[in-house]
A and B are shown apart, each in its own frame.
Chain A
Amino acid sequence: MHNGKESFEKVLDTVSRIETEVSRHMIGQREIIRQVIMCILAGGNVLLEGMPGLGKTRLVNILGKVMGLEFSRIQFTPDLMPADVTGTSIVDRKESGEGMFRFQPGPIFSNIVLADEINRATPKTQSAMLQAMQERTVTVANTTYKLPAPFFVLATQNPIEMEGTYPLPEAQMDRFLFKLNVPSPDFNELKEIILLTTTNREETVETVTNADEILQIQRVSKEIPIAEPVLDYAIRLVMATRPDHEASPEPVKKYVRYGSSPRGAQAVISTARIRALLSGRYNVSFEDIQTVVYPSLRHRIFVNFDAVSEDITSDMIIDGITKDVKTYQ
């Protein structure tokens, strides 16, 4: 594909319009919106953590419409089976009486999938979901089905209700590009939400792009250059999350059980590129890295018991790392 100046400018324009249109229909949560868009454009999956009723489903719905993508929602419950997610083969009987198996696709066969309260499902169902997320394929009855492109999963989980839940294992957490903590709206935002949602006002969401353009943006974003010192900085940040690394700051050595995997570094770089694109720049900056490092690494840093007992969160650890690691060495 030839990526001329016009195509880059078109990409910049599309990205900007997506953000504007989604923000028009979502009150507040600007940073969350931006980060979700960044994650989608980078081709990754998002884990949204927040209380119910914060507009997570609405966000996914609007995103689907704005991007012109097919959207589906799966409510995870303990009795949800993998087939309920992936789909299953059913007997399709013809008029002649002849019967044959036909694959009935599950809700996962969609461009954007909202996996609501993913931690309520059993590990077996979670695995089926996470396999699809990682490989972008579903295998049913020895037949592999490719998921539509682009494909994104936006999973949510409730941080406070832990009873009857199956927390996602570390390995599976790693498959989410971002983990976002959805904050509660402030007074003004809440007021606007009420005014917008409790009236008869009809809202028309404009579709500003389509699947092809999204795929093009994904391709273009990978070409955004990154200077060697900036790349080095990102790598040093990721390496500093490991307690066994000699250059790690003291809090990491004290409170971190496991640091980020290389997938964390990939997440940082790919989303930093998108952020640069969203900012209308053709290069990645230190600021991009410093911004994306939180959602990219917070679910990849596993703190130990000491940290839990002292209320030390992974975000605090990342704070320490960004302060400790110098941009230029």
Chain B
Amino acid sequence: MDKKYILKALRPLKIKIYLHKAIKILLSALLVSGFISLILVIVSRFAVIPFVRHKMFMITVTGFFMALFVSLYFIPSRKQLIMTADSLGLKERVITAWYLIDDDSEIAALQRQDTKRVLENTKLTAAYKMSIEKSLYILAICFITTAFLLTFIPGRVFNETRIRESLIQQMKEHEKLIEEEINSQKQKSPDISDEQLSQLKEALEKLKEEFKKSESEEDALKALAQMENLIEKLKVQDPLNDLKTLESILSDSPLTKDLAEALKNDHEEALQEALEQLAEELENEEKAKEFTEMLNQAAMNMSDNSMLADALLNLASTAGSESISRNELAQRLMEIVQQTEENASGQQDFKKALADVSEALEKARRSITAVVQRIASNNAGKKTGQSEGNNGSNQGKGGQQPGSGRKIQKGAGSENRSESQGGSQSGNESGSNQQSAGAGAGAGEGTTSIDMGYNEGDLPGRGRAPGERKEEEYKKIYVPERLGGEGDETNLPGRKLDSGSSTYSEADGAPVKKGAMVPYREVLSKYREEAVQTMERQDIPIGMKELVKSYFSTLD
């Protein structure tokens, strides 16, 4: 008998010990995961935590794999294995045999024989009991089950959570669609340069980053608007025009006249010669300085966001730092020009690609807005139905007491409106019936600030006929010019009902298009001037004038 024999004989026991430990660790992990999940679910009832069930699942799976990983550290060592075997009735035979393995004495041989005999006759795996505390796994199951069931019971922030979840789903979906759109552009339009494509990808990466940070619909729309702005910037680029500007500036100087001519004629040999000549000329420091200034001037005369302008400015600064040889400088100019020519040749395709991406962005914007509106109107519809039903019954009692007012927060979708109207009618019908029996004290008052003035139903005795309503379209609430920006006007769709209630939607994402967000410093002086002029024109109390002045001085 040798050490190998001992270890081989103990292998089944080793596996069982490991399994026992692994199960214990797994159960502990399950317990911890369950506890964390439960806490998460409880918190999610008061704070918006999207995809709680998914998070629960991830916590449990992570716990499971961590437990598996940790359990690897608990593979029983030889010492532990031998100790356990001895404690299972072997009475330190194994450890003694292990120590006497190289002992040739008669007694050592006898001891090994005795150990071998006992090892053969003892079923160690049967003797080893895998005791697991019942309370451990009962508690783990309780935690997980409770947490899971709690996710089905709506909490205080149930609706907000749903909106956030839909928003995240929409963001992910459209992120993918936009990415696919960008990736497919190379196949659709092979003339698009790699640089142009990388510009699109950069914009996409930025969008992804912004989407990740987005916590609300507004943030998501902002992110989309930012990308739209980037796309707009790319659209206004015109490499051909920039090249012409460069040619014109270069042709003004005798130093680069030949180069300008070669560029104009697109004559490669002439261009090469001109560049070689320029390189020689640039050895003169004065001329090199003049050339750098020329590059700066050309860049300044180009359109905003011009890639050529950026490249020329970069080249000019490199030339100024003298870390580049004159030949290299000329060569770099050549490369820039060639790249710009390449961009110019693919400009048409690029613009088409930009339009496609813009379209994808627009779809994303619409989807995100629609999802939020749909959920909001769903909730409002339910609330309106409930509320109007209540109102009806209150009217029934209205012989004695005025109908309680309604306050409808949201609701714009056509589907929801019909649902809410249905509820409203049935409520009103019952209310009307009751009114005929007693003196109705009027229908509810409009209580939202917007609805003030539309409470015609509050005249005593004037019961409201079912379905009768007064509707008025809301006015435009966002005129970009007022903020000095450009972009689409945003309407606030909705209706005002004669009962004083209203359905409307929030103008989500309105002031986020280009120009919508203007730093106040840019408009402050203009607004102050307007305020001062207005105060001079009109009769306003001096105290109020002072108030307005102090307001603007505070902003300063």
Residues B83 and A285 in contact, CB atoms below 8 Å apart:
no
Chain B residues positioned under 8 Å from A224 (CB to CB): 107
Known contacts A228-B99, A281-B91; is-contact A328 B79 (Cβ 8 Å): yes
Say which residue of B91, B92, B93, B107 sits within 8 Å of A8 (CB atoms).
Answer: B107
**How many contacts between A and B, using CB within 8 angstroms?**
61
Q: Is the CB of A227 within 8 A of B106?
A: no
Beta-carbon contact of A283 and B96 below 8 Å: yes
Q: Which residues of the partner chain B approach A3 to less than 8 Å between Cβ atoms? A: 106-107
Instruction: Assess whether A287 is in contact with B91, with CB atoms less than 8 Å apart.
Output: yes
Determine if A230 and B79 form an interchain contact, defined as CB atoms under 8 angstroms apart: no
Of the candidates B95, B107, B109, the one whose C-beta lies within 8 Å of that of A230 is B95
B108 within 8 A of A: yes
Q: How far is the CB of A50 from chain B (nearest CB, A)?
A: 31
Name the residue among A8, A224, A227, A327 with the largest chain B CB count within 10 angstroms.
Answer: A227
Q: How far is the CB of B38 from chain A (nearest CB, A)?
A: 38
B532 CB within 8 Å of chain A: no
Interface: B100 (CB within 8 A): yes
Given contacts A281-B114, A282-B114, contact A226 B107 (CB under 8 A): no
Query: Which positions 262-303 of chain A face chain B at CB distance < 8 Å?
Result: 279, 281-287
Q: How many residues of A contact B (CB 8 A)?
A: 23
Residues of B within 8 A of A285 (CB): 86, 91-93
Residue A169 at the B interface, CB < 8 A?
A: no
Contact of A227 among B95, B107, B109 (CB under 8 A): B95
Contact with A along B61-105 (1 / 0, CB 8 A): 000000000000000000100010010000111011111100101
- CA of A3 to CA of B92 in the docked complex: distance in angstroms? 22
Give A81 to B402 CA distance when docked, in angstroms: 123
Whether A201 is near chain B, meaning CB under 8 Å from some CB there, is: no
A227 vs chain B, min Cβ distance (A): 4
Contact B111 A225, beta carbon cutoff 8 Å? yes
Cβ contact within 8 Å between A282 and B110: yes
Main SS of chain B's interface residues? helix
Mask, A296-329, CB within 8 Å of B = 1, is 0000000000000000000000000000000110
The complex places the Cα of A2 from the Cα of B106 at a distance, in Å, of 9
Cβ–Cβ < 8 Å partners of B91 in chain A: 279, 281, 283, 285-287
Name the B residues within 8 Å of A328 (CB-CB). Answer: 79, 83
Within 8 A of A (CB), among B109-139: 109-111, 114
Residue from B105, B110, B111 whose CB has the most chain A CB atoms within 10 Å: B110
Q: How far is the CA of A279 from the CA of B89 in the complex (A)?
A: 13
In the docked arrangement, what's the CA distance between A283 and B100, Å? 10
* Contact status A8-B110, CB under 8 Å: yes
- B95 close to A225 (CB less than 8 A): no
A contact patch SS: loop
Given contacts A227-B99, A228-B99, A328-B79, A281 and B108 within 8 Å (CB-CB) = no
Give Cα A223–Cα B100 distance, bound, in whole angstroms. Answer: 13
Q: What's the least CB distance linking A113 to chain B, in Å?
A: 32
Q: What CA separation (Å) do A90 and B107 show in the bound complex?
A: 50
Q: Is A4 an interface residue (CB 8 A)?
A: yes
Whole-angstrom distance between the alpha carbons of A226 and B110 in the complex?
A: 13
**From residue B120, how far is it (CB to closest CB) to chain A in Å?**
16
Hey, which chain B residues are within 8 Å of A5, CB to CB? 106, 109-110
Question: Does A164 sit at the interface, judged by CB under 8 A?
Answer: no
Question: Closest Cβ of chain A: how far from B4's Cβ, in Å?
Answer: 19
Interface string of A213-233 (1 = CB under 8 A from B): 000000000011111111000
Kindly supply a per-residue 1/0 record for chain A positions 1-36, scoring 1 wherever the CB is within 8 Å of any chain B CB and 0 otherwise: 011110010000000000000000000000000000
A150 to B218, CA, bound (A): 102
Q: How far is the CA of A223 from the CA of B92 in the complex (A)?
A: 16
- Cα-based distance from A279 to B97 in the complex (angstroms): 17
Q: Given A281-B91, A282-B114, do A223 and B96 touch, yes or no (CB 8 Å)?
A: no
Q: Which of B86, B98, B111 contacts A282 (CB 8 A)?
A: B111
A282 to B108 CA separation, bound complex (whole angstroms): 8
Residue of B96, B98, B108 ringed by the most chain A CB atoms within 10 A: B96
Residue of A nearest to B93 (CB): A283
Closest Cβ of chain A to B87, distance in Å, is 9
CA distance A167 to B105 in the complex (A): 46
- Binary flags per residue of B347-371, CB closer than 8 Å to A gives 1, else 0: 0000000000000000000000000
Give B100's nearest chain A residue, CB to CB.
A225
Q: Judging by beta carbons under 8 Å apart, are B96 and A227 in contact?
A: yes
Given A4-B106, A8-B110, A227-B96, 11 extra CB contacts under 8 A: A8-B107, A223-B107, A225-B100, A225-B103, A230-B95, A230-B96, A282-B110, A283-B93, A283-B111, A284-B92, A286-B92
Q: Give chain A's interface residues, CB within 8 Å of chain B.
A: 2-5, 8, 223-230, 279, 281-287, 327-328
The 8 closest A-B pairs by CB, nearest first: A283-B96, A285-B91, A282-B111, A227-B96, A285-B92, A227-B95, A227-B99, A223-B107
Q: List 10 A-B contacts (CB under 8 A).
A: A8-B110, A225-B107, A227-B98, A227-B99, A228-B99, A229-B95, A283-B96, A285-B92, A287-B91, A328-B83
